[in-house]
Amino acid sequence: MESCDCLVVGGGPAGSSCARALVQAGFDVIVLDKSPFPRDKVCAGWITPAVIDELEIDLDDYRAGRVLQPICGFRTGLIGGRLVSTQYGRAVSYGIRRCEFDHYLLARSGARLRLGDPFDGMSRENGHWIVNGAIRAPVVVGAGGHFCPVARLTTESAGGETVVLAQEIEFEMPPDEADKCRVEPQVPELYFCQDLAGYAWCFRKGNFLNVGLGREGESRLSSHVAEFCHWLEQLGRVPLSTHARFRGHAYRLYRGPRRRVAADAVLVIGDAAGLAYPQSGEGIRPAIESGLLAADVIIDARGDYRQAALGALERRLAARFGRTGPSPNRPGLLPAAWRRAIGRRLLATGWFSRHVVIDRWFLHANQPALPSRRVAKSATHSLAVSAPRCAQHRIEERRVP
């Protein structure tokens, strides 16, 4: 039986951010993930300066051997319509490849890694969780994405959550295709569906191209993707016909009813908690911030991992992202057709595209980064039992032949 102070299930941005913050505070952390890293993770993938500050990323270090595409503008509009160009004259975000970004964050977390090891159940024993019959931990963090097994086993779903289904593809273009691609590397293109129930994108990161489309609870997603790709090819904007088929994924928006994020000795973060921004569907920054906030809650709990103590995460998420409103199915003040008509007119204006769509919905420029990370010392979080036990455990590990 292997023991640790905290087990994190899921090695994506939420899990690795939580693990790193806990390791900095003196915790012995194990990260369990079913996939070996680096893993293939298709994602439009951009990070804002706030994320860079929160994770203390050295951009010069990161760009060495990895894709880091500065974003200095956007083109936005309706599928089939005229696009509005917005330029900033400086980098307001950075494109990354998730296979590289996730691996980088996990490798520097300082946690012990159990990769390529699927989650196979957990049980309660003498105040600890036993995971896979092999790992003992007083607290477990579920960071396994939309289908997180820890969340399904331990926290209740409110039901009626808003789920987005998306399909996308990312591939490296050979030189002849890169020359023909009309998408500018520094200017991602965002195309809203005519009914405003979703949007599509084309994002070039150097010679890598990412194309995708997502819609809320859409049963005809494949048809929308096919129509969008056909339109792009007619315009001659992107080379798509010779590449593999699109891959699908799902995530919950931070809107309406939500899953509970805390139970006895369990926290749920990132996509597992349904934290994607409701307007853009972007989940990287909420995942990272929820991981950092969860680490603070665990540190502050000082070994008291009852739901009453860990429930502080719910309050901190609400303070950070706002309290979710009533069911998204509740009728609005205006008929849906009117709202769509007004929305389409607004999307055609430069002011709305820049100050609302991009600055507020996609970049969240109005929301500053979380305060500088406190590096808690191991002597301050007072794990009177688990810290000495884990120190002894590491000594015994070194003695094993």
Query: Is residue 346 one of the residues assigned to a domain?
Result: yes
pLDDT band (50, 70, 90) for residue 340? confident
Residue 390 clears pLDDT 50, i.e. is over it: no
Q: Got the DSSP string for 9-47?
A: E--SHHHHHHHHHHHHTT--EEEEESS-SS-------EE
In this structure, are residues 155 and 39 in contact, taking their beta carbons and an 8 Å threshold? no
State whether 174 and 297 are in the same domain: no
Residue 374 clears pLDDT 60, i.e. is over it: no
How much is the pLDDT for 244? 63
| Residues 117-133, mean pLDDT to the nearest whole number | 94
- Find which of 158-162, 251-255, 291-295 is predicted with most confidence, using mean pLDDT: 291-295
How much is the pLDDT for 249? 84
Name the residue with higher pLDDT: 148 or 335: 148
Place of tokens 């996308």: 168
Residue 125 clears pLDDT 90, i.e. is over it: yes
State whether 314 and 192 are in the same domain: no
| Residues 130-142, mean pLDDT to the nearest whole number | 97
Nearest-5° angle of CA 276, CA 185, CA 189?
50
Give the lowest-confidence range in 17-31, 186-200, 245-259.
245-259
Query: Is residue 370 one of the residues assigned to a domain?
Result: no
State whether 26 and 101 are in the same domain: yes
State whether 172 and 221 are in the same domain: yes
CA atoms within 13 A on the CB side of 392: 5
Query: Is residue 77 one of the residues assigned to a domain?
Result: yes
How much is the pLDDT for 371? 86
3-class secondary-structure state, position 268: strand
Residue 328 clears pLDDT 60, i.e. is over it: no
In this structure, are residues 173 and 208 in contact, taking their beta carbons and an 8 Å threshold? yes
In this structure, are residues 198 and 215 in contact, taking their beta carbons and an 8 Å threshold? yes
Query: Is residue 342 one of the residues assigned to a domain?
Result: yes
Name the residue with higher pLDDT: 164 or 70: 70
* % of the chain with per-residue pLDDT over 90: 61
Q: How many residues does the chain have?
A: 401
In this structure, are residues 47 and 288 in contact, taking their beta carbons and an 8 Å threshold? no
Segment holding 392, helix H or strand E: helix 386-399
Q: pLDDT tens across 101-116, in order?
A: 999 999 999 999 999 9
Residue 398 clears pLDDT 50, i.e. is over it: no
In this structure, are residues 114 and 32 in contact, taking their beta carbons and an 8 Å threshold? yes
In this structure, are residues 316 and 261 in contact, taking their beta carbons and an 8 Å threshold? no
How much is the pLDDT for 389? 41
Give the lowest-confidence range in 49-58, 176-185, 197-206, 235-244.
235-244
Residue 281 clears pLDDT 60, i.e. is over it: yes
- Calculate the average pLDDT of the chain: 86
Q: pLDDT tens across 232-272, in order?
A: 888 888 877 656 688 888 888 887 767 789 999 999 999 99
pLDDT band (50, 70, 90) for residue 220? confident
Owning domain of residue 226: 72-92+163-252+331-363
Identify the DSSP state of 371: P
| Residues 153-172, mean pLDDT to the nearest whole number | 82
- Distances from the Cα of 301 to the Cα of 68, 180, 307, 316, angstroms: 37, 56, 10, 14
How much is the pLDDT for 235? 85
State whether 138 and 34 are in the same domain: yes
Residue 396 clears pLDDT 70, i.e. is over it: no
| Cβ neighbour number for residue 322 with a 10 Å cutoff | 11
Residue 312: CATH number of its domain: 3.50.50.60
* % of the chain with per-residue pLDDT over 70: 86
Residue 211: CATH number of its domain: 3.30.9
Strands in 46-47's sheet, in edge-to-edge order, are 46-47, 93-95, 69-71
How much is the pLDDT for 293? 97
Q: How far is 318 from 41, CA to CA, in rounded Å?
A: 29
| Residues 310-332, mean pLDDT to the nearest whole number | 77
State whether 110 and 77 are in the same domain: no
The total domain count for the chain is 2
- Distances from the Cα of 38 to the Cα of 143, 291, 393, angstroms: 17, 20, 29
Name the residue with higher pLDDT: 345 or 374: 345
Task: Calculate helix-pair angle for 284-301, 13-24, nearest 10 degrees.
Answer: 30
Residue 291 clears pLDDT 80, i.e. is over it: yes
State whether 168 and 210 are in the same domain: yes
User: pTM score, two decimals?
Assistant: 0.89
pLDDT band (50, 70, 90) for residue 325? low
State whether 268 and 382 are in the same domain: yes
Give the lowest-confidence range in 21-35, 159-173, 234-248, 364-378.
364-378
How much is the pLDDT for 335? 65
State whether 144 and 292 are in the same domain: yes
Identify the DSSP state of 238: -
Task: Write phi, then psi, for 112 (nearest 5 degrees).
Answer: -80, 135
CA dihedral 52, 185, 250, 254 (to 10 degrees): 50
